């Protein structure tokens, strides 16, 4: 499978300008609301039209502005899961699921039974969308996509209407579906969801992709401020390079040793669980006073700060914190866990 997307579209606040290729993988578009993720998906599906560019799926041109090609959605063979479900109100659950199904009557009936069971919709075959909860409507939408003759799945915030228990169950189911289907684009602002499901991640900000790599590399080296924030880093400070292996974190008032410091460095970050307790001073080890202690569900969030600096978040095991209960601590900033980011 190969999907090539190279498009531009003028939007109200920015220009959507993306260029990427998806192969046999789960490709995630991670970004804040309004950054252009869903619009990208709609352009691929044919619901929206770019201003220029190309979209090619498995050698078939879906859109080419220069050649004036723009296939309608029903001919694109892209299974789109709408964020707002887009079910037909005058059709039953069964009719909605089978709307885009292909095959003979026996094959269609098999697909219907399989997906009713998969998405816990047994007994609702004859119900109408207005009689369903939001979560049930989304599951019907999921089932409809999977009965279609799609070559790639396009999933726009697929779990947004589900409670945490059902979301987890469907996420496990979707992971199994991905093993069979093999190719999908997942739009999400949930970093955990993206990390668990995706192979490759593109981080979007104001219509452009700033970071694109394997999920492990993106979370380890986000490279940009937007990607650092979106991958969940809570500790971020403006920073500047002061030597080949030294940076100064301005808000934290700390001089840190780091590796591979880019000349265009603008920000430094470190994840709260990567800070390490130490017994005394050393390289990248600093004395910190305790500013605030917050009990979370399974850990303590301890806010610390160096003299003259702003607070830094440190996440600590509950049993460990109860043992030390200190007014000040020495914390180690591992050089290989320090995030270096540009704009």
In this predicted model, what pLDDT tens digit does every residue of 285-302 receive, in sequence order?
Answer: 999 999 999 999 999 999
CB neighbour burial string for 31-54, b if at least 16 within 10 angstroms, e if fewer: beeebbbbbbbbbbbbbeebeebb
pLDDT at 188 over 80: yes
Please determine, for residue 31, whether its predicted confidence score (pLDDT) is greater than 70: yes
Stretch 262-272: mean pLDDT: 97
Instruction: Provide mean pLDDT across the span 201-229.
Output: 96
Give the residue-averaged pLDDT of 145-158: 89
- Over range 217-238, report the average pLDDT: 96
Question: What's the pLDDT score for residue 161?
Answer: 67
* 107/92 Cα distance (integer angstroms): 19
Mean pLDDT (the chain) is 94
CB neighbourhood size of 213 (10 A): 17
What confidence tens digit (pLDDT) does each residue in 68-101 have? 999 999 899 999 988 777 899 999 999 999 998 8
- C-alpha separations of 230 from 266, 294, 335 in Å: 17, 23, 21
Q: Which residue has the tokens 């492990």?
A: 216
Residue 209 makes CB contacts below 8 A (sequence gap 6+) with 18, 19, 20, 202, 203
Query: Above 90 in pLDDT, residue 136?
Result: no
Question: What pLDDT does 307 receive?
Answer: 95
What pLDDT does 182 receive? Answer: 80
pTM: 0.89
Q: Is the pLDDT of residue 160 over 90?
A: no
Phi, psi of 247 (to 5 degrees): -135, 160
pLDDT at 218: 97
**Mean of the pLDDT values across residues 256-274?**
96
Proportion of the chain above pLDDT 70, given as a percent: 100
Residue 62 predicted with pLDDT over 90: yes
Higher pLDDT, 68 or 174: 68
pLDDT of residue 233: 97
DSSP category for residue 311: P
What's the mean pLDDT in 209-231? 96
Longest CA span, the chain: 74
Above 70 in pLDDT, residue 242?
A: yes
Query: Greater confidence, 162 or 200?
Result: 200
Tokens for 263, please give them: 């000349």
Cβ neighbours, 10 Å, residue 226: 22
State how far the Cα of 34 lies from the Cα of 96, in Å rounded to an integer. 29
pLDDT > 80? residue 264: yes
């Amino acid at each position: 499978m190969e999907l090539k997307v190279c498009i531009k579209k003028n939007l109200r606040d920015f220009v959507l300008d993306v260029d990427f290729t998806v192969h046999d993988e789960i490709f995630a578009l991670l970004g804040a609301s309004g950054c252009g993720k869903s619009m990208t998906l709609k352009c691929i599906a044919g619901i929206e039209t770019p201003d220029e560019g190309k979209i090619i799926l498995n050698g078939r041109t879906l859109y080419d502005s220069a050649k004036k090609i723009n296939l309608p959605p029903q001919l694109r063979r892209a299974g789109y899961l709408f964020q707002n479900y887009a079910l037909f109100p005058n059709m039953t659950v069964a009719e909605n699921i089978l709307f885009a199904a292909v095959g003979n009557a026996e094959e269609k009936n098999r697909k219907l039974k399989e997906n009713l069971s998969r998405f816990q919709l047994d007994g609702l075959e004859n119900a109408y969308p207005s009689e369903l909860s939001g979560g049930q409507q989304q599951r019907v939408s999921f089932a409809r996509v999977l009965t279609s003759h799609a070559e790639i799945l396009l999933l726009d915030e697929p779990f947004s209407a589900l409670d945490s228990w059902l979301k987890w169950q469907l996420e496990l189911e979707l992971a199994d579906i991905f093993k069979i289907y093999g190719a999908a684009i997942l739009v999400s602002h949930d970093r955990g969801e993206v990390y668990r499901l995706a192979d490759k991640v593109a981080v979007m900000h104001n219509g452009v992709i700033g970071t694109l790599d394997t999920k492990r590399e993106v979370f380890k080296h986000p490279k940009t401020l937007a990607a650092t924030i979106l991958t969940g880093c809570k500790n971020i400070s403006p920073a500047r390079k002061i030597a080949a292996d030294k940076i100064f974190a301005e808000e934290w008032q700390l001089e840190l040793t780091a590796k591979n410091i880019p000349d265009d460095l603008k920000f430094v970050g470190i994840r709260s669980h990567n800070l390490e307790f130490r017994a005394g001073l050393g390289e990248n080890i600093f004395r910190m006073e305790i500013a605030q202690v917050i009990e979370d569900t399974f850990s303590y969030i301890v806010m610390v700060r160096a003299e003259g600096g702003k607070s830094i978040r440190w996440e600590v095991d509950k049993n460990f914190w109860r043992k030390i209960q200190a007014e000040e601590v020495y914390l180690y900033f591992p050089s290989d866990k320090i995030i270096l980011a540009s704009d």
